[in-house]
Structure 1
């Protein structure tokens, strides 16, 4: 079964627009890159396209400003492609993605927390990016984020940032 990628109007996203979106996502955010997930099979070419990019708001204003500006920067380098950037509070974001998927209204590019990648693969919410990143030097990414974006030996996402969980304790309290 092939995933059908439709925009907000229910029309298929064009192959050229999708490839431009994927390439732009990788290029524009390669420094820390976007943990983006792109649905793409079974798409048709279109002369102009609007891509939707969803992400969850961060507590870091500079990161939010960068992601908010992503659409305009991409549009300037890709005439005929419009990008609608939408940011959602963290507490609502993942439910919003699941609801959009259930209604066949998923965004074209969206942030996903890496622990959810396997779940999204299992539910056929995303497709592998291997053909789109085949010419990319993935060694530009640190090993940990490179591992996060890989599941079942396929690449499902591009990293935006890496975080860690720490356990802090008061040695005097022990």
Structure 2
């Protein structure tokens, strides 16, 4: 067994002391020693497969995707790798990962009904399955400061449930410069896309339709971004540069009465928020239900691996509940393991599980990163006060050009 961190170069079918070697790559997860988590799984797999050595290599997130693309396009790379949900279509379209439909169909271990629905769907592209879910989470829950709610005459046991109630609460909570109604992520990175996706999805909007055409400027999306723009008037100045940690800091300092973020931030809140904090499902448009945007990681098989059967067997081993829990600091994608994780580790687990059950993957497109960059630029303009309809119309044209150019 070999577990290393931050190493370059993959293996594939190499050999170590006469053993058959398979390699798995993963990103480093901050909340636990991922190498330690993999050690027991690897030992279990090697005992069941005499003569096989498993090498685990982990990389910082910022380096991971580029290292993997370089290795795999060069014909090497790992046998098994974790992929961000939004990378899966890109890797599939480029022929870098193998479709898994036949293997999943024959598996006694991997069954669709055992996984959270949204996590399973994130592996589907071009009518095929390209991975098996490892973990996932949803953007987002609404964190709120119950003490500030009371001070504003609001009932903390009855947080806003609709967009109109949300706007009213934000206005009452807005007490600048001491505190603000809400802190909103707006900086130009993926968090602003996935956050605003939840506004879009909750209002019945889409970014791409079923045919893969851009519908970013739909009436539903215009309404969604107008709601985001309305809330901005109750947020601290500088939302265009406010990233996730910035709004978390605003909240824990008592400067923002509400923020939108994922369940992973509860670890921070438990240590840093010195007040009565709670979570709720974010408000939805009047008469509709909140729909969050999913994120997470899937396990895929290198299309050029000479050990694809063994690679899939390793995925099967990693897809057992106790093993998913061992290698995760995020919510395991297996429903039984995920529910146990949330119930044991999170405050108000019923809120998180409800958000997970209603979550949807981001658009399945091989050019998703480029589409997201256009969306991020649109968010910047909207924060600056630009007309939402005009911004979305221009953005939709840019997105469609990207798709057409890469078709």
TM-score band by shorter chain is 0.5 to 0.7
Partner residue, 1:143:
117
Q: 2:73 & 2:124 partners in 1: Cα distance? A: 24
How far 1:104 moved relative to its partner?
1.1
Point out the structure with the larger helix share.
2
1:7 aligns with 2:4: no
Q: Which residue of 2 aligns with 1:92?
A: 63
Residue segments in structure 2 that go unaligned for 5+ positions in a row: 1-10, 145-169, 174-179, 181-233, 235-407
Deviations, residues 50-108 of structure 1 (Å, cap 9, x unaligned): 00110001122165532343322211111111101111111111111011012211110
Task: Give the equivalent residue in structure 2 for 1:162.
Answer: 136
Q: Distance in 2 between matches of 1:86 and 1:123?
A: 23
* Structure 1 residue 124, shift from structure 2 partner: 0.4
Kindly report which structure 2 residues correspond to 1:10-159, keeping only aligned pairs within 5 A, or say none: 48-61=19-32, 64-135=35-106, 136-159=110-133
SS in 1 for 2:133: coil
Q: Give me the CA root mean square deviation.
A: 2.4
1:10-60 superposed Cα distances (whole Å, 9 cap, x missing partner): x9xxxxxxxxxxxxxxxxxxxxxxxxxxxxxxxxxxx95200110001122
Distance 1:77 1:84 in 2: 16
CA distance in 2, matches of 1:159, 1:84: 21
Please give the alpha-carbon distance, in whole angstroms, between the structure 1 residues aligned to 2:126 and 2:39: 32
| Unaligned stretches of 5+ residues in structure 1 | 1-5, 12-46
Contact 2:28 2:59 in 1 (8 A): yes
Count of aligned positions:
133
Which aligned runs of 4 or more in structure 1 are off by greater than 4 angstroms? 167-170
Aligned mates of 1:169, 1:52 — CA distance in 2: 40
Q: Distance in 2 between matches of 1:49 and 1:8?
A: 7
Q: Aligned equivalents of 2:45 and 2:63: distance in 1?
A: 26
Q: TM-score, normalised by structure 2?
A: 0.30
Shift of the alpha carbon at 1:131? 1.2
- Partner of 1:74, secondary structure, is helix
Aligned-residue offset at 1:167: 7.2
